[in-house]
Amino acid sequence: MADAASAPPDVTGSADSADPLLAFVLATFHTALFTLVPVTLLHWTDALGDLLGGLSTTVGLALYALLWATTWWTNRRLLAETPFTRGAEWPVLKASVKWGGVTGSLFFLELVGVIVLEALATGEVGTPEPTAVLFLLTFVGLATLVAFVVGALVGVVQAALDLLALRVVTDMLSSTASTVPDSPTGPSE
């Protein structure tokens, strides 16, 4: 029997217990998909040019990197909290509501921060009236709640796609494994 000193530390629930490659891949997939869908819809409605006309390349890349970093951080927490395995669909979907909502709220607040910093840098912000500050804080608070709900919905959809991909891959691997011989020279005696 192994003694307590040689046992691995318990990191259940810690972000360090998440598979770093899986967190990277999911964050990249989720960010690309979350960016691709609105850009495609805007392109189809001919509204993309106007939107991109007011966005510099630097700010666009910075926002994409910010969204990816936020998604990576929340995916690490989701993966540390739930087993990303076949048969654990319900815990993954439940956790995706929470962590998708957190992603949405954090990214919205990061966008607000970028807008405020840009306004401060260009000198567009003067001394605000107290009622304007109260209105702005109320608006940001309510918009953060809306961002949580939208993020939760997006999180569930993306987790469902992830679980579907997991099911397809495990089915492919199990069918491939049953057709591959035990060794290159045939079965051992």
* pLDDT tens-digit readout, 132-141: 889 989 999 9
Q: What angle do CA 2, 82, 25 make, to 5 degrees?
A: 105
**First CA to last CA across the chain, in angstroms?**
34
| pLDDT band at residue 41 under the 50/70/90 scheme | confident
The region that residue 123 occupies, defined by phi over 0 for left and psi between -120 and 50 for alpha, beta otherwise, is left
pTM for this entry: 0.76
Lookup result for tokens 């869908």: 37
> Computed over its alpha carbons, how large is the radius of gyration of the chain?
23
Q: How large is the average pLDDT for residues 6-24?
A: 63
* pLDDT for res 185: 55
Yes or no: say if 106 and 96 are a contact pair by the CB < 8 Å rule. no
Q: How large is the average pLDDT for residues 129-150?
A: 93
* pLDDT for res 98: 96
Neighbouring residues of 14: CB distance < 8 A, sequence distance ≥ 6: 80
- Select from 166, 171, 68 the least CA-distant residue to 110: 68
pLDDT tens for 54-111 read 777 888 888 899 999 999 999 999 999 998 888 888 999 999 999 999 999 999 999 9
- Select from 115, 30, 34 the least CA-distant residue to 74: 30
Share above pLDDT 70 across residues of the chain, in percent, rounded to a whole number: 85
Decide if pLDDT at 21 tops 50. Answer: yes
**Domain extents in the chain:** 19-174
